[in-house]
Amino acid sequence: MTKVLEHFKKKDPKLWKVAMRLGKIEPYQVRASGDYFADICESIVNQQLSGRAAATIWGRFILLLPQKKVTPENVLKVAGQQVRDAGMSWGKVKYVKDLAFKVKDKLVNLDQLDKLSDQEVIAELIKVKGIGAWTAEMFLMFTLGRPDIFSHGDLGLHNAICNIYGLKNPTREQIETLSLRWSPYRSIACRILWKSLEKTPS
């Protein structure tokens, strides 16, 4: 982290000062499951939900699957109404089913994602209904552990930037210019920005 913080100190003293004020920044945890299909299914469930609610629904969903295994075949076997009754919205039911169908029929190839560029991974994942840039970027950051990811669609990052830089309605171009200062460590910058929101007085 010393090298990263020195980079921020040189390129963006404001972010560096925030990092120093926050103290030790724990690295974001990269999922080590190696099961990209399950990770993406869970990301779909997590969309727009609190951590606790998402975990509850995800746990119920797994219980519906044969042998509790999250595979395309098993997801397709479970009736949509059962999944809906477990707490998943109809939209998300359709999304996980679409993911399962496209992976099973090899319309989406998850096996080689770790060998693709960031933009290629995003292009592959957004073939699935319900997966947009934000979900793909979170996959890049937390599953593949890519170090230089920034998500323009993340409201938390947007709010943190407004707080730190005194901006009211920053344009995408303004935010992009800021984020480029943090490259090639934008994933860690995101961690600092998210953490800063926890420390913001109400």
Domains and CATH numbers, the chain: 6-22+150-198 (no CATH), 36-142 (1.10.340.30)
pTM of this structure: 0.84
Q: What is the rounded distance in angstroms from the CA atom of residue 83 to the CA atom of residue 90?
A: 9
Instruction: Show the low-confidence residues of the chain (pLDDT under 70).
Output: 26-33, 199-202
| Contacts of 27 by beta carbon, 8 Å cutoff, 6+ apart | 1, 188, 191
* Predicted local distance difference test score (pLDDT) of residue 4: 92
Nearest Cα neighbor of 16 from 37, 26, 2, 29 is 2
Do the Cβ atoms of 14 and 165 come closer than 8 Å? Answer: yes
Do the Cβ atoms of 103 and 72 come closer than 8 Å? Answer: yes
Nearest Cα neighbor of 172 from 133, 200, 128 is 133
Which pair of structure tokens corresponds to residue 175?
Answer: 């935010």
* Predicted local distance difference test score (pLDDT) of residue 29: 60
* Predicted local distance difference test score (pLDDT) of residue 202: 40
* Predicted local distance difference test score (pLDDT) of residue 24: 75
Do the Cβ atoms of 84 and 90 come closer than 8 Å? Answer: yes
N- to C-terminal Cα separation, the chain: 29
C-alpha distances in Å from residue 167, one per residue of 36, 62, 101, 175, 186: 37, 43, 43, 10, 19
- Residue 59: how many CA atoms within 13 Å on its side-chain side? 6
* Predicted local distance difference test score (pLDDT) of residue 164: 95
